[in-house]
Amino acid sequence: MATGGILSITEVNALQSEQFEWLFGNVIEHCPEAAKKVASKRPFATCEALKIAFDNYLDTLKTAEKEIILQKHPELAGKLLDEGKLTGESQNEQKLAGLDCLSKEERQTLSDFNSLYKEKFQFPFVICARENKMQTILSAIEIRVENSKEDEINLGIEEVKKICRIRVGDLVWPDK
């Protein structure tokens, strides 16, 4: 049996639509409509094909729709983390990046950059926390806050794809 995931791709393909939508409803943060759209593309030959279907969903969105996707993401080490109100996936990802145990100074620095970034772009800074640690996150936000809005929408969506792919991998056995 493969490691990672809880279902085989055959089991994923056999799910009722409602079950699929429930299971995959947060692989893109707070975006159950993505799962609904992707469910209609079944059957998938591989886990990678399922991941590509979610990538394609994001790629076909208009710019304003991509902004909405980004707006649904929580701030890193923000108020929702402090209050325990993140989705289970986001809470786990931020903990793995060490964002739940920042020093007072690190928390303030990230908070300042989060505010500056959100003020400029009208959506929170999105980065795949499971692929990064605090220092790389701080470096990335410091660099990316200087980008254009168009560039940040594109970079943010690429990060959403990384997050989605990892979350799908948590649910579906990897391909052999």
Phi and psi angles of residue 172, each rounded to the nearest 5 degrees, phi first? -120, 135
Residues with catalytic annotation? 73
User: Taking the domains of the chain in order of start, what are their residue ranges?
Assistant: 75-160
User: Per residue in 86-95, pLDDT tens?
Assistant: 999 999 999 9
75-160 — its CATH code? 1.10.3330.10
Q: Which of 102, 23, 21, 27 is nearest to 58 (CA)?
A: 27
Give the pLDDT score at 2.
Answer: 43
pTM over 0.85: yes
* Cis peptide, bond prior to residue 43, ω within 30 of zero: yes
Provide CB contacts within 8 A for 107, sequence distance 6+: 77
Residue with tokens 């493969």: 2
Residue 78 has pLDDT above 60, yes or no: yes
